[in-house]
Structure 1
Amino acid sequence: MAFSVISSFLPLAQSAPAGGGLAQFLPIILLFAGMWFLIIAPQRKRQKQHDKMITELKTGDEIMTSGGIFGTITNVKDDRFVVRIADNTKVELSKNSIGSRVTQSED
């Protein structure tokens, strides 16, 4: 019984069209290309802008940390900033924890 069921599917398997290898992978390739242009490339651009902003920070610049704390840079070290967040309150922050530079609008 099992042999007759298997043998009935054998001609179907043999008559399957032989597609090209590239044609089968084309949708996957297009999917990855779309992901690159929609997700990865913009993220890399934002990361480069953030890295440039970090290297341009200097003493006296007002910043906001990635945690939402505002402060003023009082000292720049190799891998961190010393930031004044209140009167008589200074903290050392990793350069990676800086979220953005705060720009003050002129009235």
Structure 2
Amino acid sequence: MFVTPAYAQAAAGGGDVFTSLVIPMVLIFGIMYFLLIRPQQKKLKEHQSMVEALRRGDQVVTAGGIVGKVTKVRDDAEIEIEIATGVNVRVVKHTITQVRSKTEPAKT
């Protein structure tokens, strides 16, 4: 008539914590890695390579939507773009979102 505590616990599903908590958390992290983290890292790497390849004469678009032509690569962080005839603007390299046309490399 009376149920022993061990039998009641087994029947209620008080089983292994590993299978009930850890495995679902690992699966959720794995799914999040492949759906969010990995594509973002790939996109960041592509953007960094695009920014590093900028050179004089490239036509670019900034994050603010300004279209211009690269006139000078100042250093690792800044470039100078011409947005109109005689109007040059210094911008941070990482604000470049798109390179519309590339120039041919100089032949040596």
TM-score (norm 2): 0.77
Write the distance in 2 (CA, Å) between the matches of 1:22 and 1:103.
55
**Percent of residue pairs bearing the same amino acid type:** 35
- 1:70 deviates by 0.5
Determine whether 1:71 maps to 2:68.
Answer: yes
CA distance in 2, matches of 1:45, 1:54: 14
The structure that is helix-richer by fraction is 1
Deviations 1:37-68 (A, max 9, x none): 01110010010000001011100000001111
Indicate yes or no: 2:56 matched with 1:59: yes
Count of aligned pairs between the two proteins: 92
* 1:60 counterpart SS class: coil
Unaligned runs of 5+ in 1: 1-10
Q: Is the counterpart of residue 22 in structure 1 residue 18 in structure 2?
A: yes
SS of the aligned residue for 1:102 comes to: strand
Q: Tell me the TM-score normalised to structure 1 length.
A: 0.78
Give runs of ≥4 in structure 1 deviating > 3 Å.
none
Q: Show structure 2 runs of 5+ residues with no match.
A: 103-108
The residue aligned with 2:91 is 93
